[in-house]
């Protein structure tokens, strides 16, 4: 199994555990949801640092990497992690039934604090919260985009000529 697949599966699994375990433990509790978005996006960014580690691992095995090759490795990690998390999100929504989207909806209604325009916007978007395949696709796209951005940064770091030479000289 390639490093991109291994680290993509690992990153996707880490995101799944960090995102779903708290909801399984406490349910769609408003106290958790208050910090859930920050925690969720932070865990995605940290887990997708696997793109950089995949590039470095390939560089140690194969020697210097071009920007393009390093980016492709990172994008492959991102694709695997995003696919795993997107499918898992869809499955998680199926497992939780309507309790999770209803909990999210109720949380955002409470945050709207009686603002009629926000409440109207929430009501118009409610059907999207209950659309399980859409939620899976949104989470796939979110993780993939974060991974691609980290891959661009990682490929730039790994592909720099001076950086490559210094890494090759290490014992």
170: pLDDT strictly greater than 70: no
Whether residue 31 contacts residue 68, with contact meaning beta carbons closer than 8 Å, is answered with no
Cα 167 from chain centroid (whole Å): 29
Which pLDDT score is estimated for 88? 95
Which pLDDT score is estimated for 150? 97
Q: Could you tell me which residue, 40 or 72, shows the higher pLDDT?
A: 72
Q: Mean pLDDT throughout 10-33?
A: 83
Q: Where are the domains of the chain?
A: 3-169
Q: Could you tell me which residue, 8 or 117, shows the higher pLDDT?
A: 8
Pick the most confident of 80-89, 101-110, 158-167: 80-89
Average pLDDT score over the chain: 87
Q: What is the pTM of this model?
A: 0.84
Which pLDDT score is estimated for 109? 86
Whether residue 55 contacts residue 65, with contact meaning beta carbons closer than 8 Å, is answered with yes
Which pLDDT score is estimated for 126? 87
Tens-digit pLDDT profile for residues 47-89? 999 999 999 999 999 888 899 999 999 999 999 999 999 999 9
Q: Report the alpha-carbon distance of residue 166 to residue 115 in Å, rounded.
A: 57
128: pLDDT strictly greater than 50: yes
Whether residue 159 contacts residue 70, with contact meaning beta carbons closer than 8 Å, is answered with yes
Q: Mean pLDDT throughout 159-170?
A: 56
Cα 111 from chain centroid (whole Å): 25
């Amino acid at each position: 199994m390639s490093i991109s697949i291994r680290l993509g599966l690992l990153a996707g699994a880490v995101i799944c555990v960090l995102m779903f375990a708290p909801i399984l433990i406490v349910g769609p509790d408003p106290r958790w949801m208050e910090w859930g978005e920050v925690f969720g996006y932070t865990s995605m960014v940290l887990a997708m640092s696997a793109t950089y580690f995949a590039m470095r691992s390939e560089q140690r095995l194969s020697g210097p990497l071009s920007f393009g090759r390093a980016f492709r490795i990172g994008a492959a990690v991102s694709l695997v992690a995003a696919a795993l998390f997107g499918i898992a999100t869809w499955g998680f929504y199926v497992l939780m039934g309507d309790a999770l989207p209803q909990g999210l909806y109720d949380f955002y209604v409470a945050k709207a604090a009686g603002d009629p325009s926000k409440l109207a916007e929430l009501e118009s978007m409610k059907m999207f919260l209950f659309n399980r395949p859409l939620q899976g696709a949104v989470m796939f796209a979110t993780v993939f985009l974060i991974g691609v951005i980290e891959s661009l940064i990682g490929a730039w770091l790994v592909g720099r000529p001076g950086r490559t030479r210094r890494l090759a000289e290490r014992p």
